Amino acid sequence: MTTKATSMTSNDKTAPPPKSPSLLSVYRSELAIAIACVVLLVGVGFFVPAALSSGNFANILQASAPLVIMSLGVLIVIITGGIDLSVGSIFSLTGMVTALAMANGFSDISASLAGLGVGIVFGSINGALITLVGLAPFVVTLITYAVAASLAFIVTNGRSLGVNSPDYWLFNSGEFIPGLPNFILFCLIFTVALEFVLRKVTAGRWFYSVGSSPMAAYLLGIPVKRTRFAAYVISGTMASFAGLLTVSYILNAEATAGASLMLQAIAAVVIGGASLSGGSGSAIGAVLGALMITIIQNGVNLIGINSFWQGSVTGLAILVAVLIDRFSHR
Amino acid sequence: MDSNKTALISVRNLMKGFGATKVLRGVNFTVLPGEIHALLGGNGAGKSTMIRIITGAVRKDDGDVVLASPRGGIPKIAVVHQELALLPDLTVAENIALVHAASAATLVRNRSQAARAHEALCLIDPHLAHHALHRKASELSMHEGQIVEIARALSTGAEVLLLDEPTANLTAGETERLFVVLRRLATEKNIGIVFVSHRMKEIRQLCDVCTIIRDGMTVIDALPLTHLSDNEIIHQMGQPTERSVERDKRVLDQAGGGVVLRGPETSVPVLKGQILGLAGAPAGPSRLIAVLNGTAANADWEVDAKDWPKRPTSPRQAVQLGIGHVSGDRRLKGVLSQLPIVDNVLASRRVREGRHLVRGSERDECLGLVKALKLKAGSIWDLPSTLSGGNQQKLLVARWLGMPLKMVVFEEPTRGVDIGTKREIYELIRNMAGQGTIVVWWSTENVELLELCDEILAFDTEGRAKGLLPQDQFNEDALADLTGMAA
């Protein structure tokens, strides 16, 4: 994202030192998406007043949490100029592995760690094949997408698996901080942490540098391979975490649970203002993109439109977002 | 020349601005059939912009461009650009044949394609025609690529040829052959040829008339070259005819901090604060530079010095050691295009000093550097694309300024920047050397090397080190001789 600040001339000695760009100018396009979300919600509320109830808001947040977290991971990969097609399958496989581990008597924590291990392992495989072997991200993650998806069926021979651990739902809907459900807490922590890393940590700036101009970044001494490797590991791990969140909510794991999520996550990142050619994007934008997709799904359901239309409406939203982005910069 | 010829190209009062900068402010330019026309002007004077407007790649703001073929209609124009424009994954034959395909539906016939390409290449380099037809363009050296591109332009049957510094990467022999072909095309086929070059000797050898552009305006309009002396031409281009800065007789620190660069043919001792120029075609200098900045996998050079590895294993190690690098290829190897100016300036510092967080104080640090360099920027949070080419180049230099460095490597840092900025970059290079940094500087413009360097290492076109010229033996002809490049 470009950040246009107030004009200043470097030679003018009398001019006051330039201020850092205001939050409003930094998050200009994010604000536009937030406004679009509100407009969408109000639009749905026009047909179905219940859409504006606090109960429905809670529904939307609950439903969007896994997508938000997965989108944040995919965002990092897209900022580095890559793509991660494997996140949906990693999401599914994580659920299966976790549920299977619990069914075999593992504790909640160790089963969850095993689930997270899926994302770490597949993320590392993605990263290694892309940075060390030099294969194209699209091809590599297409391979791991297919492999993880089939493994998700193999581990239980295709059966869905319930979670019988009585307290596991707390992971999602419990409240470590009274009044703040954990799924919201997790989303907030990840968003704030990632936004901080991307803007204020040197390594965070490296993600942009690598995505923007890999050759220049390399010559500047930025560890290009390590940065890209890290992006895929983070993306895989976040997808796994999103999988855990869903399992702990519906207390059931299914091999196809994440099938539609990969495209939704990429869509959320694009709506959030990131460019698929790399070098731009923000955590807050991706989160708002994920929220917008969930609001559209929620609205289509509430209004009672045939749910087959969901994809078309989401597609239209992506088109509008990309057009706004394109014309606000030129 | 016949007086009743109608002009192939007639440009009147052409205007063009990019953002706030006016590149063309009233350019006139006329090309007649059968003439070889020198188009002269300093870097950034607007020559390339005018050529791009004539070919339709850039839209004009104001003025007239009239293109007229003696056969009626618009003349066929072929251009050889400064930057290579070959498709890397296609073979040489395919690259040449590409421009001949009548339409997208034309069938590809390998044999006629190859025959045509062979014929075209034979015009300049029969040897290359014999060996390179089926090699991919990406496998060619820069200098072979240039020949292929010229051959392609010659073979199109164009009525106008625009050649933008076509000899920059050619040897003397190839230049000679190219000139023979160009003269034949002009006299026999009545083709209009526009020739852009900075080399006075070539211009005198080849061209009939010249047009000089300066700061976006035509100052000499189609004057026969016999009417102008070399000094008048240089003066009209707005370039200083004499060395503008007195060479200070610096006493170099003989004591320590120097290095010895060992190559296959020679070894070169370089003292602290010395400016070592590298002259010649890219092959040789780029191999040495790759060793210095840590990008060489298996190179034949090595560095011999205390607390210095023979070859840094990565650019990261080189930067951490205190070896800076400024490339002339801003687009690919220089600017981080999607990041604001502040990140661009500070990226190398963050690596060198191992900073983990983006500090608040970095803003003032960046502003200080921007000010010291007189970098004209709207705001340090703007993207580098808002800067002019010269200012982008200064941005790359800013990365290494005011940091204790062992060595800075410059790779054609003044490519495509105007004279004023060139002077400023020279000054910066001199200052860095003055602070005890070793400067290694490759340039294809021998004149600037002769002006600034303490010693010049000359490479021939095959990439072999041919000789080390100390300052008291500096002389343009000697350097041209050693490098085998047309002077």
What token pair was written down for B212? 């000089």
Given a cut of 70, is residue B105 above it in pLDDT? no
Quick check: A208 contacting B, CB < 8 Å? yes
Q: How would residue B485 be classed by pLDDT, with cut points 50, 70 and 90?
A: low
Residue B30: predicted pLDDT: 92
Q: Which of B308, B309, B287 is nearest to B298 (CA)?
A: B287
Q: Which of A89, A90, A114, A91 is nearest to A101 (CA)?
A: A114
Query: DSSP 3-state assignment of B163?
Result: strand
For the ranges A23-32, A187-196, A321-330, B462-471, the lowest mean pLDDT is seen at: A321-330
For chain B, the average pLDDT equals 83
Task: For the beta carbon of residue B88, count every other beta carbon within 10 angstroms.
Answer: 12
Q: What angle do CA A201, A5, B61 make, to 5 degrees?
A: 125
Residue A202: predicted pLDDT: 93
Given a cut of 70, is residue B138 above it in pLDDT? yes
Radius of gyration, alpha carbons of chain A = 21
Q: B200-229: per-residue pLDDT in tens?
A: 778 888 999 999 988 888 988 888 988 888
CB contact under 8 A, A6 and B379: yes
Select the highest-mean-pLDDT range: A270-279, B373-382, B417-426: A270-279
Quick check: B396 contacting A, CB < 8 Å? no
Residue A13: predicted pLDDT: 45
CB contact under 8 A, B374 and A10: yes
Quick check: A209 contacting B, CB < 8 Å? yes
What number is the average pLDDT over the span B240-264?
64
A3 compared with A21, residue with greater pLDDT: A21
A15 domain-assigned: no
Looking at the DSSP assignment, which residues form a beta bridge with residue B383? none
CB contact under 8 A, A220 and B338: no
CA distance B44 to B39: 13
Q: A85-144: per-residue pLDDT in tens?
A: 999 999 999 999 999 999 999 999 999 999 999 999 999 999 999 999 999 999 999 999
Residue B317: predicted pLDDT: 92
Q: Which of B195, B236, B209 is nearest to B42 (CA)?
A: B236
A239 domain-assigned: yes
Query: DSSP 3-state assignment of B82?
Result: coil
Share of chain B above pLDDT 70, in %: 89
CATH number of the domain enclosing A189: 1.10.3470
What number is the average pLDDT over the span A6-22?
54
A91 domain-assigned: yes
Residue B3: predicted pLDDT: 44
A14 domain-assigned: no
* Strand pairing category for B209-214 and B62-67: unpaired
CB contact under 8 A, B337 and A4: no
Q: Are B441 and B449 in contact (CB under 8 A)?
A: yes
Share of chain B above pLDDT 90, in %: 17
What number is the average pLDDT over the span B429-446?
88
Domain with A131, as residue range(s), is 30-42+51-329
- When CB atoms are compared, the residue of A21, A209, A215 closest to B347 is A209
A210 domain-assigned: yes
B393 compared with B281, residue with greater pLDDT: B393
Q: A208-262: per-residue pLDDT in tens?
A: 999 999 999 999 999 999 999 999 999 999 999 999 999 999 999 999 999 899 9
Domains of chain B: 9-236 (3.40.50.300), 259-340+404-483 (3.40.50.300)
CB contact under 8 A, B357 and A201: yes
Q: B347-393: per-residue pLDDT in tens?
A: 999 998 888 888 888 888 999 998 888 887 778 888 888 787 778 88
CA nearest to A7 within chain B: B378
Residue A2: predicted pLDDT: 40
- Contacting B residues, span 286-325, partner chain A, CB-CB under 8 Å: 293, 295, 314-320, 325
Residue B307: predicted pLDDT: 80
Q: How would residue A6 be classed by pLDDT, with cut points 50, 70 and 90?
A: very low
Given a cut of 70, is residue B21 above it in pLDDT? no
What token pair was written down for B285? 């200098």
Dump strand ranges (E) for B41-191.
Answer: 62-67, 77-80, 160-164
Chain B residues with CB inside 8 Å of A223's CB?
A: 316
Tell me the shortest Cα–Cα distance from A217 to chain B, in angstroms. 7
B407 compared with B249, residue with greater pLDDT: B407
Q: What angle do CA B141, B143, B146 make, to 5 degrees?
A: 110
Beta-carbon contacts of residue A124 (< 8 Å; ≥ 6 apart)? A229, A232, A233, A236
Residue B439: predicted pLDDT: 94
Tell me the shortest Cα–Cα distance from A9 to chain B, in angstroms. 6
Task: For the beta carbon of residue A324, count every other beta carbon within 10 angstroms.
Answer: 16
Q: Model pTM?
A: 0.81
Beta-carbon contacts of residue B7 (< 8 Å; ≥ 6 apart)? B30, B31, B32, B66, B68
A8 domain-assigned: no
A2 domain-assigned: no
B378 compared with B30, residue with greater pLDDT: B30
A118 domain-assigned: yes
Inter-axis angle of helices A224-250 and A87-103, nearest 10: 50
CA distance A241 to A90: 10
The count of domains in chain A is 1
Residue B101: predicted pLDDT: 66
